[in-house]
Amino acid sequence: MAILIGDIAPDFTVDSTEGPIHFHDYIDGSWAVLFSHPKNFTPVCTTELGYTAKLKPEFDKRGVKVLGLSVDKLEDHAGWAADIAETQGATLNFPLLADHDKKVATLYDMIHPNASDNLTVRSVFVIGPDKKVKLKIEYPASTGRNFDEVLRVIDSLQLTAKHQVATPVNWKNGEDVIIVPAVSNEAAREKFPGGWKELKPYLRVVPQPQG
């Protein structure tokens, strides 16, 4: 059965480039990104892992733990990590899970038989500190992911979790946001004393809250 937004992210224990990972223990209290790769030594994945390694300070700043997953054995990961460093100018600095028996890929419904019966699609899961799935995105194997977009969504998720706001189309960190309909005008006046612009009763635009 597919994992849906709001579901508890399934737990698992698996080997990785940074030792055994017991998933729920590893991410406890943190946000997390779990993303899959069709297999080792593939060109698109190599660029993705290199770019994600470069972005790790940005993930760290947001309190996000990043984990990659490939359906290959652990002993194959070291050679691929060397290729990533050589071609992308970035050293792998987060765990790459070795899911050679496809246990995790199956648990997270990362294998789509109509695309391939033995390789994962490019799945991305963002998981909150409550261990619930907050976002899932799936790409075909041929299309590299946009990890700047993953960071943008995390900014939105973290902001909206704290301030009862939603983010509009193409929102970027620092831009105006929307007061969610569940917040009455009376409650909004307390939360947003600077006021807001009401385009419609259900569309109230306010500067992004700070803190």
Residues annotated as catalytic are 45
Q: What is the DSSP pairing of strand 64-70 with strand 96-98?
A: parallel
CA dist 114 and 14 (Å) reads 26
CA dist 86 and 80 (Å) reads 10
CA dist 122 and 139 (Å) reads 5
CA dist 79 and 102 (Å) reads 20
